[in-house]
Amino acid sequence: MFLNLFDEIALVSGVLIKAISLYFVLMCLFFLKPVKPKETSGSRTSFACVIAARNEEMVIGRLVESLLDQDYPPELIKVFVIPNNCTDRTEEAAKKAGAEIIRVRGPVRTKGDALNQAFGQLMRRDDIDAFLLFDADNIVDRNYMKAMDEAFAGGAQVTKSRIEAKNPYVSWVSGCYGLYYNIFNLFFNESRARIGIAPKLIGTGLGFRRDLILEKGGWNTVTIAEDTEFNADCVLEHCRISWVPKAVTYDEAPVDLRTSLKQRRRWAGGIMEVAKEKVPDLLTELRTMKDLRQLIDMMMILIMPHFQVVSLIPTAIMLTYVIYSYGILRCLLLVAVSLAASYVGITAGGLVLSIRSPYRTAEMTRAILMFPVFTLSWIPLCLMAAVKGSGTWVQIRHTGSVSPRTVSCAGKHVRELC
């Protein structure tokens, strides 16, 4: 009786996992679809760059300087920093670099709380066409504003830039983040852009027009994953979201495993919070039969952490069956073979990602060899997030000691990873 029940559970969960896996595999393959280059022209959008910062004295100045040092009319760029819960000299460092300060009042639990108060003030300004959001540890390419301007001139309401690791060679952990970012760049955003589906606004480097935030009545996210929540709201409101790969944001990745595990557990838990809030709304919106691809794709992204948890069910049932039928030694052998095969496959994938990325592959060797550990660790992290929630916000110490440098290449300024 119990074996029959196990068989039924394994069958149902197995079919569900295969269906979801097939969906993501097919979506990934669309990056191979040829794309015709588009002729673009700018409209000279006026930008307000908004940065919520908590104890970021060491890095905030470099971000502000990179935002003001653009190949773009300086009078069209304003930088606003929102210091919150700071015990260091973040505000002084931001002002020294050229930023304006927005002060918030009352408790700030999440980044969304700080943005909510800031946009309450910024929306009243009529000298801003579009807003760009960054994390304090970022640095941007010199052509960032120009690329975003072209996207908004082309009709975009919301934009997403490409993310690269700022410190990929410091440790194998930061290198793995670089590979992970390129999974999103290539298989989540580039592939979707080529078939007309909106990119995912996960991570830093997103923008939106002022009139959109006016229509929404400000920044209204309540979860710890404010980027994903905003993404779901934009899909529900049928906004035009554009992928802008020419606009590059460099993000300082964690360099030690413990910090990485805490951060990624928080990410997984945050997406689960958003799924709880937004999947019912997405299902309701499906009845309108409008933008079905966007709605379905957003739901698939939101259920991804749950999917990784569910993937443990057939595995656990299979191992239980092997132990019951053949003993513990046979089970251990099966686990060893499966892990070895996974290691080889994921390592090969990491090598391909490194080759296709802007990183120097020889210096990414440690990250490539450890990429299976980084990738497979998502499964227990999602399980922990499902059981215990996203946890509390934990500050990640940024040093800014490694960053892209500006070099001259064929008369053009570009950022080079160093």
The pLDDT tens digits for 378-418 are 999 999 999 887 655 556 666 665 555 543 332 333 345 44
Mean pLDDT for 94-99 is 95
For residue 310, give both structure tokens: 């569910």
Residue 195: in which H helix or E strand, if any?
Answer: none
- pLDDT digit string (tens) for 139-196? 999 999 999 999 999 999 999 999 999 999 999 999 999 999 999 999 999 999 999 9
Query: Does position 233 have pLDDT exceeding 80, yes or no?
Result: yes
- pLDDT digit string (tens) for 107-147? 788 888 899 999 988 988 889 999 999 999 999 999 999 99
Residue with tokens 């229509």: 215
- Cβ(50)–Cβ(82) under 8 Å? yes
Q: What are φ and ψ of residue 262, in 5° steps?
A: -65, -45
Residue 389, sorted as left (phi over 0), alpha (psi -120 to 50) or beta, turns out to be left
- Cβ(183)–Cβ(353) under 8 Å? yes
Q: How far apart are CA 196 and CA 348, in angstroms?
A: 29
Decide which of 53 and 403 is more confident: 53
How many separate helices (H) and strands (E) can be counted in the chain?
A: 16, 10
- What is the pLDDT at residue 148? 96
- pLDDT digit string (tens) for 299-329? 999 999 998 888 888 888 888 888 888 888 9
Q: Are strands 139-140 and 241-251 parallel, antiparallel or unpaired?
A: antiparallel
Query: Does position 85 have pLDDT exceeding 90, yes or no?
Result: no
Query: Does position 2 have pLDDT exceeding 60, yes or no?
Result: no
Angle at the Cα of 33 (from 289 to 283), degrees rounded to 5? 20
Query: Does position 286 have pLDDT exceeding 70, yes or no?
Result: yes
Q: What is the DSSP letter of 311?
A: T
- Cβ(87)–Cβ(56) under 8 Å? no
Mean pLDDT for 368-378 is 96
